[in-house]
C-alpha cells in the first residue's frame, strides 16, 4: 500500500462525507486506503460513511479520546508507505494526492510535507507553513508585532509571513489538517504525543522530525480548502483551555531546559495572560456556533 489516509471525526457527518468524496474523486496512480477514527459521534457519522463509502475502514471510539490518540489508532492499523493526516473539514483538489506523493517519492530526505492550505474565502491558512514557537517568535506573534511588520523576518518567525506562499521551501512545521509523513520517519521518531489532546500535536511532531534530521517541506504546487469556523464565533471553554495548555506543554517539553528561569517564568505568565484575555473575549461574544478549529475531532 502506498498511502494511508487518517481522518478523525467528531459529530461532523456532512463535512466528513464531503471530504471523503474529494478523496475518492482524486486522480491518483498510487494505491491508498482510508481510515476514519470516530471519537464517539452522536450524529450518525459512522453509519453515513459506511453506507456511502464502504471501503473506508472505521474505528469507533466509545469516548472522545482526542486528536493525537485517535490519529495514532489509525496509524497503528495503517499499511501505507506514507501516512496522511487529514482533517475532515478539508476538500482536496483532484490532483493533490498525486502531486504530493510524487514530491515525496522524489525527495527521500523529506520526512514530512504539506501543500498550500486555503480558507473558503481564498486566503491562506497561515498555519500550513510555520516556524517553531520560540519565546521570541511567540511574543512577536501574540502581541501583534508580526502583523505590524509582516515583511521583516525577525518579527515573523512563527507564521513566516515574509515568505512567498506560492514558493516551495523547507519550514519548521506544518498543520495537522494536511500532513504527509514518511513511514520510515514515523518509525524513527514515534507516534503523536498523546499528552496533547487537540492542539500542538502537529508542532511537537514536526519538532521531533526535524530533531531526527529529516526535512519538513512546504510544497504549494497543489492546495486544499480548509473549512475552519469563523474566528468571531464563540467557542466552548475546553477549546480555549486546550489551545493554551498545548502552548504550555510544548514549551515545557522542548524549551524549558534551553532558556533561563526568568524567560520560562515570562513565557508561562504570557500564556496565562493570553488565556485570560481569550476567555474574557470569548465570554463577550454571542453564542453563534461551534468551535473554530478541529470541530471534526473534538480536536
- Condensed to tens digits (0 to 9), the pLDDT of residues 118-158 reads 999 999 999 999 999 999 999 999 888 999 999 999 999 99
Average pLDDT of 73-96?
A: 98
pLDDT at 299 over 60: no
The pLDDT > 70 percentage for the chain reads 93
pLDDT at 161 over 80: yes
pLDDT at 210 over 70: yes
The mean-pLDDT minimum among 19-33, 63-77, 182-196, 271-285 falls in 271-285
Residue in the block written with cell 496522511: 84
pLDDT value for 112: 98
- Please tell me the distance from the alpha carbon of residue 118 to that of residue 90, in angstroms, as a whole number: 10
pLDDT at 292 over 50: no
pLDDT value for 293: 42
In the chain, what is the straight-line distance between the N-terminal and C-terminal CA atoms, in Å? 27
pLDDT at 229 over 60: no
Higher per-residue pLDDT: 281 or 249: 249
Residue in the block written with cell 500550513: 128
Average pLDDT of 164-173?
A: 98
Whether the CB-CB separation of 221 and 176 falls below 8 Å is answered with no
pLDDT value for 230: 40
- Nearest 5°: the CA angle 27, 92, 192 is 115
- Please tell me the distance from the alpha carbon of residue 180 to that of residue 178, in angstroms, as a whole number: 7
114 Cβ neighbours under 8 A, 6+ residues apart? 128, 129, 174, 175, 178, 179, 180, 217, 218, 219
What does the mean pLDDT of the chain come to? 92
Q: Which neighbouring-strand residues pair with 226?
A: 90
Query: Residue 237's pLDDT band (boundaries 50, 70, 90)?
Result: confident
Please choose, from the candidates 186, 224, 222, the residue with its C-alpha nearest in 3D space to the C-alpha of residue 206: 186
Alpha helices, DSSP H, located in 53-87: 67-77
Domain at 3-226, CATH from 3.90.550.10, 3.10.560.10, 3.30.530.20, 3.90.1150.10: 3.90.550.10
- Please tell me the distance from the alpha carbon of residue 139 to that of residue 122, in angstroms, as a whole number: 28
Amino acid at each position: 500500500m502506498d498511502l494511508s489516509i487518517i481522518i478523525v471525526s467528531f459529530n461532523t457527518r456532512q463535512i466528513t462525507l464531503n471530504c471523503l468524496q474529494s478523496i475518492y474523486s482524486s486522480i491518483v496512480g498510487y494505491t491508498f486506503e482510508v481510515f476514519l477514527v470516530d471519537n464517539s459521534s452522536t450524529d450518525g457519522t459512522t453509519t453515513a460513511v459506511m453506507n456511502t463509502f464502504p471501503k473506508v475502514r472505521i474505528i469507533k471510539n466509545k469516548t472522545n479520546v482526542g486528536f493525537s490518540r485517535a490519529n495514532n489508532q489509525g496509524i497503528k492499523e495503517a499499511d501505507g508507505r506514507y501516512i496522511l493526516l487529514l482533517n475532515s473539514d478539508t476538500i482536496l483538489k483532484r490532483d493533490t494526492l498525486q502531486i504530493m506523493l510524487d514530491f515525496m517519492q522524489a525527495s527521500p530526505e523529506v520526512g514530512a510535507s504539506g501543500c498550500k492550505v486555503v480558507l473558503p474565502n481564498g486566503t491562506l491558512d497561515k498555519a500550513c507553513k510555520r516556524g517553531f514557537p520560540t519565546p521570541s517568535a511567540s511574543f512577536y506573534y501574540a502581541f501583534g508585532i508580526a502583523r505590524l511588520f509582516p515583511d521583516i523576518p525577525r518579527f515573523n518567525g512563527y507564521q513566516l509571513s515574509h515568505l512567498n506562499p506560492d514558493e516551495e521551501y523547507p519550514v519548521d512545521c506544518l498543520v495537522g489538517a494536511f500532513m504527509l509523513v514518511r513511514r520510515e520517519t514515523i518509525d524513527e521518531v514515534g507516534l503523536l504525543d498523546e499528552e496533547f489532546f487537540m492542539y500542538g500535536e502537529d508542532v511537537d511532531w514536526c519538532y521531533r522530525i526535524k530533531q531526527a534530521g529529516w526535512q519538513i517541506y512546504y510544497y504549494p504546487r497543489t492546495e486544499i480548502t480548509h473549512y475552519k469556523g469563523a474566528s468571531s464565533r464563540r467557542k466552548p471553554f475546553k477549546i480555549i483551555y486546550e489551545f493554551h495548555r498545548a502552548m504550555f506543554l510544548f514549551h515545557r517539553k522542548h524549551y524549558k531546559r534551553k532558556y533561563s528561569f526568568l524567560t520560562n517564568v515570562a513565557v508561562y505568565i504570557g500564556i496565562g495572560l493570553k488565556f485570560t484575555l481569550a476567555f474574557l473575549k470569548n465570554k463577550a461574544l454571542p453564542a453563534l456556533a461551534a468551535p473554530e478549529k478541529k470541530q471534526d475531532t473534538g480536536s
